[in-house]
Amino acid sequence: MTGWQTLFYKEVLRFWKVGFQTVAAPVITALLYLAVFAHVLEGRAQVYGDVSYTAFLVPGLVMMSVLQNAFANSSSSLIQSKIMGNLVFLLLTPLSHRAWFVAYVGSSIVRGLAVGLGVLIVAGLFAQPSLVAPLWILVFGVLGAALLGALGLIAGLWAEKFDQMAAFQNFIIMPMTFLSGVFYSIHSLPEFWQGVSHLNPFFYMIDGFRYGFFGQSDVSPWISLGLVGGALLAVSALALHLLKTGYKVRH
């Protein structure tokens, strides 16, 4: 294999070699969230009609795991390569900026979906969410992982040390993920906070993904698809521009 395929293969192997840390650990973390929140809020939280809270929670945790791990894959790979100094070997290759983008974002999609599938399988021991529209599940899973993979690429290019990357993840990615309706339906919020939630792009990824399981959502899945697709195009364009100009990698 040559070009982007080789780099993609290398990036997949990079996280798969330490699969217990990169795949199994996030699955266990999601399982702990499910056990705690389901125990505390089952029968107390109001969600879609006759859908149990535990079943409602499963798609949110799956998508949260997909997004966080897709971001972590591309961002951690770039920052590690920059700090360890082995990024120079990639710079010496004739790979285009498009090849870099496809390889890094593609491997992020693979890792995100692998973790999400693991969470879904394990969470199935607690609740069995229905699969009303599997195509919507796949579409939002792939788009969400691609969007966060591209965002992780931007963060990895921007950061110059690990604490900058940690700040990006802790003050931007984590809050937006947790405040996107993973653990609740936004219709249970006061009107002001419902409006704030509609400004969060992560909300549309999770809401559209959840629609594929129950056929119900807080907003139309077509609106969510349009907004997520638009965000993906914008973030991808920025990532490609930074790669093309060699931002913080071609000193």
| Confidence band for 236, pLDDT divided at 50, 70 and 90 | very high
Lowest mean pLDDT among 89-103, 147-161, 171-185, 233-247: 171-185
Q: Which residue has the higher pLDDT, 79 or 42?
A: 79
pLDDT, residue 85, reads: 85
Q: Are 73 and 111 in contact (CB under 8 A)?
A: yes
pLDDT, residue 174, reads: 85
How far is the first Cα of the chain from the last one, in angstroms, to the nearest whole number?
29
Report the half-sphere exposure of 225 (CA within 13 A, side-chain side).
Answer: 10
DSSP 3-state of 223: helix
Say yes or no to pLDDT of 192 above 90: no
Q: What is the mean pLDDT of residues 188-217?
A: 86
| Confidence band for 166, pLDDT divided at 50, 70 and 90 | confident
| Confidence band for 10, pLDDT divided at 50, 70 and 90 | very high
pLDDT, residue 86, reads: 85
DSSP 3-state of 247: coil
Per-residue tokens: 30 = 């999601």
Q: What is the mean pLDDT of residues 200-208?
A: 92
Q: Which residue has the higher pLDDT, 101 or 124?
A: 101
Q: What's the predicted TM-score (pTM) here?
A: 0.91
Q: Which ranges of the chain would DSSP assign to H, the alpha helix?
A: 4-16, 19, 25-41, 53-84, 87-91, 97-123, 134-158, 162-168, 174-178, 191-197, 201-214, 221-245
Say yes or no to pLDDT of 43 above 70: no
Per-residue tokens: 74 = 């591309």
- Burial (CB < 10 A; 0-12, 13-18, 19+), residue 61, is buried
pLDDT, residue 68, reads: 93
DSSP 3-state of 181: coil
| Confidence band for 48, pLDDT divided at 50, 70 and 90 | low
Per-residue tokens: 28 = 């266990």
pLDDT, residue 63, reads: 94
Report the half-sphere exposure of 4 (CA within 13 A, side-chain side).
Answer: 12
Q: What is the mean pLDDT of residues 163-189?
A: 83
Q: Considering the chain, what percentage of its residues have pLDDT values greater than 90?
A: 53
**Which one, of 189, 177, 178, 186, lies nearest residue 217 by Cα?**
186
Q: Which residues touch 50 (CB under 8 Å, ≥6 apart)?
A: none
- Number of other residues whose CB lies within 10 A of the CB of residue 149: 31
DSSP 3-state of 251: coil
**Per-residue CA distances from 34 to 111, 136, 144, 169, 250 (Å):** 21, 23, 21, 22, 44
